[in-house]
Structure 1
Amino acid sequence: MTGPVLSVQGLTLAAGAQPLVEDLSFDLFPGETLCIAGESGSGKSLTSLALMGLLPPGVKRRAGKISLAGQDVTALPERRMRRLRGDSIAMIFQEPMTSLNPVLTIGTQLVEAIRSHDPDADAPAAALAALRAVRLSQPDRRMRQYPHELSGGMRQRVMIAMALALRPQVLIADEPTTALDVTVQREVLDLLRDLQRETGTAIILITHDMGVVAEMADRVIVMQNGRMVEASPVAELFARPSQPYTQALLAAVPRMGDGGPPVALPLAEPIARLTEVSVNYDVQGGLLGRVTHRVHAVEQVSFDIAAGETFSLVGESGCGKSTIARAMTGLVPHRGRIEIAGHLVPPDGQSAPRALRREVQLVFQDPAAALNPRKPVGELVAEPLVIHGIGDRVQRRARAAELFDRVGLSRSQLDRYPHEFSGGQRQRICIARALALNPKLIIADESVSALDVSVQARVLALLAELKSELGVSYLFISHDMAVVENISDRIGIMYLGQMVEMGTRAQIFGNPRHPYTRRLIDAVPIPDPAYVRPPAPRMASDVPSPVWPVGQAPERIRLEDIGAGHLVAAGANG
């Protein structure tokens, strides 16, 4: 095919009288990767759903034409569109767990998708071949497993296998790596590139990560508020962005090497000190429900956090970062010693005193889930004061207003509800609530990973400003090495519940000693189309399990194990 495989002309989508996408036009050619970039609410995902004929109720196509291989699909009935989906055009959704049926095995779902388009095909063999094509380890075993038995990276590979099983002409990938660890993201992007090279499939990649755009795109469309504000080849867009919005979007991207000079910390007693901390969970089995195995979520971890310091914990999902946060706040039982601001955290995970809870506060990853939707945000920010019996109603209102000023929100917004704010504003509200009791330590658990890049930059700047003004310390939990470099004073690298490397920002990024640390740094997408990534060995085996038989202690992770064997394989399966 010499012409475009997909052509969109004057697409306009609206909900009632409210336009959501306006006059969007573009062409997609065979073997090409077109990235649609922009912040949340820009119309990227709605455009992809319109291409698939899957617009949500209440959203209508007001104008425009969508042609697939020369055929006008906007005029097709649903029965005909159902035949095209998967066969000619397929989609990988952002969250695979919501796209896979939890009560059917992976093999059943793949076979069902293949047979729906080709009843005479050898569907089990084709499904197995699809899993092998996406380099999923032990494909025969995965066919018999359910979605909950797979990691996030595995599930995303299953979605790619399902989308490519019938070799569609167009593949739409809607934020396919947003929720994945950086090493798993690297594997998924490499996989998409390899499969495109083998099959010639045209790809529409929807993302707000400009590093991913730089590495994957041939051409880029930048959208804002439902309109296309700029479209150009990727090299030209990064070298000479013509629109102020594009320039601001690129300027907000955290880049490796932008961390700045190291800051000397004052010699003072640590705000937090962890000594040989372990967190284990028992696994029951057999008819009698005996404890047969133990999950070693955290194993003998020690570190300090100084006053006014940002200490970052970095690692992939399941490495124990969030478990440490819960242990420090007295939410899970632990072994070892945890001391925060002179208070000893009880090891039972239940009886932490109120005085301790005043000194340490949490900011969670999802601000929408962390805020009660039935209460005004002013009450939510003042809630810690109510719990600890501080002040009367007037004083609490005044404190909430003061905190709103400090995090860059208006006092007039105190009586609004969480749904009336953007994601970045809701995260600011969560930060204001965390500051209500003047804590000495704030634990930020993936607090910016779900935010758009420009919103992320503003929240990170706010955290740095609050640290400078108030002297608060942070435990910053993340898997994004570029963000970590820009905010941290010291960094601890975790893998399978163990601390494998720890040092200052300059040490970790200037001279990483551990192979796993180097792997994390090397996997970060570089927002520069001219950057040539050096070749790295592909990951191809199972993740080592943190579950050990009762009475058998896990081995300490050694450098020689990681360089040559199981750790190199870990990122492939999440």
Structure 2
Amino acid sequence: MNSENTTPFKVATSNCPSGTEPVLRVDQLAISVNTENGLKPLVHELSFDLHRGETLAIAGESGSGKSLTSLAIMGLLPPPAVRVTGGSIHFGDQELTTLGENAFRQIRGNRIAMIFQEPMTSLNPVMKIGTQLAEAICAHEAISLKEARLRALEALRSVRLSEPEKRLNQFPHELSGGMRQRVMIAMAIALKPDILIADEPTTALDVTVQREVLDLLRDLQLEMGTALILITHDMGVVAEMADRVLVMKGGHFVEENHVESLFAKPQKVYTRNLLEAVPKLGDGSGEARMGRPDEDTLVAELENVVVHFDVRSGILGRVTHRVHAVENVSLNIRKGEIFSLVGESGCGKSTIAKAMVGLVDHSGRIRINGHDISPTYGAMSNQTRRDIQMVFQDPMASLDPRMRVGELVREPLVIHGVGTRQEQDQHVEYLFERVGLARDQIQRYPHEFSGGQRQRICIARALALNPKLIIADESVSALDVTVQAKVLDLLKELVSELGVSFLFISHDMAVVENISDRVGVMYLGQIVETGSRRQIFGSPRHSYTKRLLSAVPTPDPSRERQSLARLVGDVPSPVKPIAERVSYVELVDMGDGHLIALEDTMK
């Protein structure tokens, strides 16, 4: 701890000490929101203790009150709309619910720090990283700007950010998502707080970056004795990180227990359902789908597809660098098949999807249901547009909030002039029933549905024109595990009953294993391994595939956690100088369609 930061708390020698005074005590906390009809409770009489050096995970689905609880502890509830209406929050001998804003500023960031879910929205986009870190330090300590920058540099080194001196002078948009999250962690620990609150710190991160961030939090906690509140709906992360788990639902306390006991013998039905809905690697659920793909009918064929984006710089705006988003990718998707593309952010998965629907220029050949797609942006025939549809990650951003959902599902039929008004009405009713929604919901607006229901509406809209191929780009990553499981079951049913094919894009390896027929693994714009689900997950051959699988959090606290070799140096980038050539990997058939790239051909 800093010499300026004296603390009344005793340092514990165990993760969950007994007989020691808690560093934080929440007692009968109630949070409410002002409405036209008076106060509406959001969190109901929640109580828990947090000890020094302990990790308490608060788990539950969206709307359970997890983040509201953390904001109440930080004094960040938006008044007067949302406020604490009962109970207490004791930090040492201080009652936080009655603390004034000026007094809270001495604690917030200094004694209690928070890491938010989306680092890009938490960092000022027009300020350099070093300036933002120094500003946070100077707000709590009377030191010079030069000393603050040295402390900021030390914080960046502590989170193992490559080239920390360089990062100080960069803007947030110049860093990857994992790097930005490390900056947020550095900002949070720069003042060595007593409590660190991490609100969904890894939800938007790839599995390898997620593992590195979780390892980093664990190491820093051990070094500083900081108590950690981990807020998440990812039960794999809970199993790997937590000492104790508090489960919430709809603002209510459900149950609390040590992590091993909660996973082994959950006491409440909701907790059991939550754990059962978590996709697990190697549980064999991918075998449950009825029907097999039609080996003789190809709905999508990609041959040597290349997508580049030029980067201009200098006064004259000349092209100096090039983003090699997709390099020489070849694959095919059969009728009635779920083909998954996996890999980290920036590997080219979504760019391939955009090329397939004509949203970006490409070279090479793309055929959808026997029709060639022009390499020129936007040049697609109406028939090809009908044959391929997309389901995006964020359903709310995909639906016009001013239109009724029935009209949204009908819209593709109107655009393509399919059927009469009566026939369109009947087809919309059929689609709603097919995706598990009621006919009486057709006249509602998007905001009247839950996240899972909105994604079902997007799937119904994608099915409106009876497409041959649906591209699902991270279509379930934003959903809670129970909702996610229902949507995945729906996709399997659609494939089995309608014979539609899916290109399923995801970085969640457990989800991919449980839904896919075949899998392609991408790295820096190229496919490095492809094969059946059983080949990729049962006997991965490429080192990058093995790294992805080893990084997946396992929702089993009793299972010994494998160590993951940490990367050193700069993260490999697809951005190259214009004169630099990229070497294509060579894929070798290991038998039964299991292709892997030769490691020595990768640069």
- The TM tier, using the shorter chain, reads over 0.9
User: Structure 1 pair 565/391, CA: closer, same or farther in 2 (3 Å)?
Assistant: closer
Q: What's the % identity of the aligned pairs? A: 64
User: Structure 1 pair 273/405, CA: closer, same or farther in 2 (3 Å)?
Assistant: same
Deviations 1:43-94 (A, max 9, x none): 0000000000000230111101001122111121100001100111000000
Out of 33, 39, 60, the residue aligned to residue 38 of structure 1 is 60
Contact map agreement 1:516 1:562 (CA 8 A) in 2: no
User: Structure 1 pair 219/563, CA: closer, same or farther in 2 (3 Å)?
Assistant: farther
Shift of 1:267: 2.6
Distance 1:362 1:549 in 2: 33
Q: Structure 1: which amino acid aligns with 2:27?
A: Q
Deviations 1:250-276 (A, max 9, x none): 000000012347675333121100000
2:77 corresponds in structure 1 to: 55
SS in structure 2 at match of 1:48 = helix
Distance 1:496 1:360 in 2: 26
- Map residues 448-487 of structure 1 onto 2, 5 A cutoff: 448-487=476-515
- Map residues 151-300 of structure 1 onto 2, 5 A cutoff: 151-260=176-285, 264-300=292-328
Out of 110, 114, 131, the residue aligned to residue 108 of structure 1 is 131
Contact map agreement 1:5 1:70 (CA 8 A) in 2: no
Contact map agreement 1:235 1:530 (CA 8 A) in 2: yes
- State the TM-score, normalized to the length of structure 2: 0.92
1:15 corresponds in structure 2 to: 33
Q: Structure 1: which amino acid aligns with 2:181?
A: Q
2:456 corresponds in structure 1 to: 428
Shift of 1:393: 2.3
Out of 372, 383, 392, the residue aligned to residue 364 of structure 1 is 392
SS in structure 1 at match of 2:422 = helix
SS in structure 1 at match of 2:308 = strand
SS in structure 2 at match of 1:271 = strand
Distance 1:146 1:345 in 2: 38
Deviations 1:340-397 (A, max 9, x none): 1011111002211110000000000000000001100000001000110112222222
1:138 corresponds in structure 2 to: 163
User: Structure 1 pair 564/270, CA: closer, same or farther in 2 (3 Å)?
Assistant: closer
Distance 2:451 2:554 in 1: 25
Contact map agreement 1:543 1:566 (CA 8 A) in 2: no
- Map residues 371-386 of structure 1 onto 2, 5 A cutoff: 371-386=399-414
Contact map agreement 1:8 1:25 (CA 8 A) in 2: yes
Shift of 1:313: 0.3
2:593 corresponds in structure 1 to: none
Query: What is the number of residues matched between the two proteins?
Result: 567
Shift of 1:555: 2.1
- Map residues 277-356 of structure 1 onto 2, 5 A cutoff: 277-356=305-384
Contact map agreement 1:133 1:161 (CA 8 A) in 2: yes
**Cα RMSD (Å) of the superposition?**
1.7
1:503 corresponds in structure 2 to: 531
2:17 corresponds in structure 1 to: none
Distance 1:65 1:194 in 2: 31
SS in structure 1 at match of 2:52 = coil
Q: Structure 1: which amino acid aligns with 2:112?
A: I
Shift of 1:548: 2.1
Q: Structure 1: which amino acid aligns with 2:124?
A: N
Distance 1:527 1:95 in 2: 23
Contact map agreement 1:89 1:171 (CA 8 A) in 2: yes
SS in structure 1 at match of 2:295 = coil
Distance 1:267 1:513 in 2: 24
Distance 1:429 1:342 in 2: 28
Deviations 1:406-453 (A, max 9, x none): 000011111111111110000000000000000010000000001000
Q: Structure 1: which amino acid aligns with 2:194?
A: Q
1:542 corresponds in structure 2 to: 570
User: Structure 1 pair 566/33, CA: closer, same or farther in 2 (3 Å)?
Assistant: farther
Distance 1:288 1:165 in 2: 41
2:46 corresponds in structure 1 to: 24
Distance 1:354 1:125 in 2: 60
Distance 1:120 1:565 in 2: 52
